Amino acid sequence: MLLFSVCLELDATKIGPAAEFVPSPIKANTLQLTDAVLANLTAQKVAGVSFFMFNTKPAANFECKVFPGDLDWPSKAIWSIFNLLTGNALIETVPIGAVCYQNSGFYSASACTDLLAGWTKSNTHVRDPTSVMSPMYQGETCHPARASPNSTCTLGGFPSYVVNVTNIAQVQLAVNFARVAKLRLVVKNTGHDFLGKSLGAGALSIWTHHLNEVQFLPKISTPSWTGAAFRIGAGVEGRHLFAAAERYNVTTVGGECGGVGVAGGYTAGGGHSPMSPLVGLGSDQALSLDVVLPSGRFVTANETHETDLFWALRGGGGNTFGVVTSMIVKAHPKIPVSGMTFSVLSGAETNVSITLFWEAMYAYWRRFPGFAEKRSYAYSTIFPAPGGGYSWSMLPWMVPGMPLAEFKSMVAPLLAEWEELGLKVTPYYFEYPSFYPVWKGHFPEETVANSDLRVGSRLFPKGNWANATRRDALFDSVRSVVEDGSALIQYNAKYDAPEGTIPSAANTHWRDAIWFTIIGVNWAGSGLPEVEVERLNKKFHQDWMGRLRPFGPGAYGNEADVMEPNFGEAFYGGNYERLVKIKKELDPTDLFWVPTGVGSEGWKVKGSREWLTTQEGRLCRV
């Protein structure tokens, strides 16, 4: 292979995009890689074409994915041919931070200033081909804020090459190339992933951001759904779908951060939403998905075709069964929303003592089953505050479909109890005819791309409240982690599947949960020596998470600890066994691999600091 590649002479004028026109209502689907295209390339003796063929036969067992510098790493000439076949869609990775490094060849003082100013905004990373919002997994080897005159910017965990896809043929070419050349393959959509699943050293990446079509379908009919729907490309973000829904007087489901991709990791991982108490998880919305399989073949998975795949793609994880290129999601009637926001500051410099703060919090937590029953959604954050206290922000507490008067009477007993305890809160109430203005006004844009941050989560089932001793032990455990320095992001809501929902692979632990919590540890700027950082990480996985696990066997795999022991049970619940079976059938060579993905146990990223779980190393069999 090596000799062949080195001797290859490239006549760029002879090679054009490898794609055939196929009629389709979706623009991206009109260009596909077909057997006829490949036969044509073979007839024309296009060099290297064997790299791009369909093939479902497992390759011979190989120890590691091919890595840059290896003898069988594709030559520059092969990469050039690949680029021509994709219609010049190939990008050689330049780390987003390179503009801040003086010796990188990409230095620009003004671009660096702009990058630093926009660093914590999701769009900065969404529109970059490789940047991700959890920079820790990249190794922070080209972090714009850490550049000094002599420091060097390296690729770290970033992939080597990216295909900026706008059509199906390009996705198929990339999948075939990675499979035949035994490359690591990753998919990046927006880069929101918290576990390092949208990047990988030495990989070829498929970037779905520009698959961004949104089409309103006023009425469709499937065995389970008659009504409105949207057809959306894989790169569509929540904010695009929310805006379209408002325009057509309907309601759709997406993450609370507008930049989260709807058809990517969100639907693949389950996806929770402020609308979930009424209409279910993100994955409960999908009616049809277009997918490029590990074999390179393009299929539609829906209620009547590829039904195992259809089941698995809804909640069974991203970058595991293939590349989703577009999907059809439910559009519900317009739903009015009422709710409130408030904030409480406790500690020595305030009027709220820490004792009062926790009394008030327990009074709130005790009422969770009742609120969940009313299909309420309450999203709040607790952060450490000066004076040893805590800052608690109710971002919104809202109930889809409930009039404000009813909302006020729902919360009145809690407010009265707080008053009795001595806590005065000043709620700001709201009521709107649809979800869009609530989302625009009451879901503040989240800060992303924090350095050196690790998160973990837990889904606590309602059963914990049936026994007061157990319930209080749960509260004490969560409190103890916050007292030890963690932030707490908490959601009190119900995530069961509405009647008529098509069964899916969504984590079974969602369905009986009424409290979803996220905790985190951050050591950025701490100046701690590496051995202390390692100790802190161990404390997080074992001690902090260990205090919460006894009360909730499940966690949300999209917002979770990548070191979760027994992740199959925690992230996929009762669906794990069937998912593994489907994975083995569809992807016998493990072309698609992500940490904590279904069937990922057979491989690991080798590196010098494995406890940090970066994606900087080579991917090898365990």
Ligand X SMILES: *[C@@H]1O[C@H](CO)[C@@H](O)[C@H](O)[C@H]1NC(C)=O
Ligand Y SMILES: Cc1cc2nc3c(=O)[nH]c(=O)nc-3n(C[C@H](O)[C@H](O)[C@H](O)COP(=O)(O)OP(=O)(O)OC[C@H]3O[C@@H](n4cnc5c(N)ncnc54)[C@H](O)[C@@H]3O)c2cc1C
Query: Does residue 37 belong to the site contacting ligand X (CB under 6 A)?
Result: yes
CA distance 478 to 538: 18
Q: Segment contacting ligand Y (CB under 6 A): 150-158, 181-189, 541-549, 602-610?
A: 181-189
> Distance of CA 324 to CAs 29, 277, 378, 438, 520, Å?
12, 26, 31, 30, 30
Dist CA 50 CA 47 (whole Å): 8
Contact 284, 504 (CB under 8 A): yes
Q: Which of 10, 26, 91, 214 contacts ligand X by CB under 6 A?
A: 91
Q: Are 282 and 295 in contact (CB under 8 A)?
A: no
Q: Name 39's Cβ contacts closer than 8 Å, sequence gap at least 6.
A: none
3-state class of 383 per DSSP? strand
Cα–Cα distance measured from residue 606 to residue 66, given in angstroms and rounded to the nearest whole number: 13
Among 164, 450, 480, 522, which residue sits at the site for ligand X (rule: CB under 6 A)?
164
Residue type for position 592: F
| Structure token pair of residue 119 | 């660093």
SS3 301: strand
By CB under 6 A, tell whether 190 contacts ligand Y.
yes
The closest alpha carbon to 267, from 251, 254, 276, 256, belongs to 254
54 binds ligand X (CB under 6 A): no
Indicate whether 266 belongs to the interface with ligand Y (CB under 6 A): yes
146-154, 192-200, 365-373, 527-535 -> range binding ligand X (CB under 6 A)? 146-154
The answer to whether residue 477 forms part of the interface with ligand X (CB under 6 A) is no
Smallest gap from Cβ 515 to ligand Y, in A, equals 15
Shorter beta-carbon distance to ligand X: residue 129 or 270: 129
Using CA atoms, how far apart are residues 319 and 316, in angstroms rounded to an integer?
10
Could you say which residues in the range 562-621 bind ligand Y, by CB under 6 A?
Answer: 594
Q: How far is the CB of 52 from ligand Y (least distance, A)?
A: 20
167 binds, among ligand X, ligand Y, none (CB under 5 to 8 A by kind): none
Gap between the Cα atoms of 612 and 158, Å rounded? 16
The region of 147-155, 375-383, 480-488, 508-516 touching ligand X under the rule CB under 6 A is 147-155
- 26-85: contacts with ligand Y (CB under 6 A): none
Nearer to ligand Y, 131 or 464 (CB): 131
Which of ligand Y, ligand X, none is residue 267 near (CB under 5 to 8 Å by kind)? none
Q: Is 265 in the site for ligand Y (CB under 6 A)?
A: yes
What tokens does 436 get? 């869009």
Q: Report the C-alpha gap between 584 and 601 in whole angstroms.
A: 12
In the list ligand X, ligand Y, none, the entry touching 303 (Cβ below 5 to 8 angstroms by class) is ligand X
When asked if residue 523 is in the footprint of ligand X (CB under 6 A), the reply is: no
Is position 457 an interface residue for ligand Y (rule: CB under 6 A)? no
| Shortest Å distance, C-beta 304 to ligand X | 4
Running DSSP on this structure, what letter comes out for residue 528?
-
How far apart, in whole angstroms, are the C-alpha atoms of residue 342 and residue 117? Answer: 29
Nearer to ligand X, 61 or 469 (CB): 469
- Alpha-carbon gap, residue 36 to 197, rounded angstroms: 34
Burial letters 246-274, b for 16+ CB under 10 A, else e = beeebbbbbbbbbbbbbbbbbbbbbbbbb
Which among 558, 582, 583, 587 is positioned nearest to 570, based on CA atoms? 558
Range in contact with ligand Y (rule: CB under 6 A) among 36-44, 70-78, 253-261, 465-473: 253-261
User: Measuring CA to CA, which residue among 87, 167, 176, 162 is closest to residue 132?
Assistant: 162
Q: Least separation, in Å, of the C-beta of 6 and ligand Y?
A: 33
Closest by alpha carbon to 252, among 439, 16, 65? Answer: 439
Residue 513 contacts ligand Y per CB under 6 A: no
Cα dist from 577 to 93, 101, 386, 554, 584, whole Å: 37, 47, 47, 16, 11
Q: Does 296 help bind ligand Y (rule: CB under 6 A)?
A: no
Q: Residue 184 — φ and ψ, nearest 5°? A: -75, 135
Looking at 86-232, list the stretches that DSSP marks H as alpha helix, in order from N- to C-terminal side: 109-118, 122-126, 168-180
109-138 residues in contact with ligand X (CB under 6 A) are 129
- Out of 324, 545, 563, 612, the only residue in the binding site for ligand Y (CB under 6 A) is 324
Of 193 and 246, the one with the shorter C-beta distance to ligand X is: 246
Using CB under 6 A, pick the residue from 89, 133, 438, 586 that binds ligand Y: 133
In terms of CB distance, is 243 or 533 closer to ligand X? 243
Q: Which one of ligand X, ligand Y, none interacts with residue 272, CB within 5 to 8 A by kind?
A: ligand Y
353 binds ligand X (CB under 6 A): no
Q: Quote the least distance from Cβ 480 to ligand Y, whole Å.
A: 26
Question: Per rule CB under 6 A, is residue 470 in the interface with ligand X?
Answer: yes
Residue 558 binds ligand Y, judged by CB under 6 A? yes
Q: Are strands 337-345 and 428-432 parallel, antiparallel or unpaired?
A: antiparallel
269 near ligand Y, rule: CB under 6 A:
yes
Q: Does 210 bind ligand X (CB under 6 A)?
A: yes
List the single partner that 231 binds among ligand Y, ligand X, none, CB under 5 to 8 Å by kind.
Answer: none
Q: If contact means CB under 5 to 8 A according to the sort of partner, which of ligand X, ligand Y, none does residue 249 touch?
A: ligand X
Q: Shortest distance, CB of residue 425 to ligand X, whole angstroms? A: 12
- By CB under 6 A, the residues from 279 to 308 that bind ligand X are 288, 300, 302-305
Residue 98 near which of ligand X, ligand Y, none (CB within 5-8 Å, type-dependent)? none
Task: Tell me if residue 218 falls in helix, strand or coil.
Answer: strand
The three-class DSSP label of residue 592 is strand
Say if CB 524 and CB 403 are below 8 A apart.
Answer: no
Measured from the CB atom, is 210 or 479 closer to ligand X? 210
Grouping H, G, I as helix, E, B as strand and the rest as coil, residue 520 is strand
Report the length, in residues, of the chain. Answer: 622
Question: Where does this chain bind ligand X (CB under 6 A)?
Answer: 20, 36-37, 40, 91, 129, 148-150, 164, 166, 210, 222, 248-249, 288, 300, 302-305, 350-351, 467, 469-470
Contacting residues toward ligand Y, per CB under 6 A? 133, 186-194, 197-198, 208, 234, 255-257, 260-261, 264-266, 268-269, 271-272, 318-319, 323-324, 446, 448, 558-559, 594
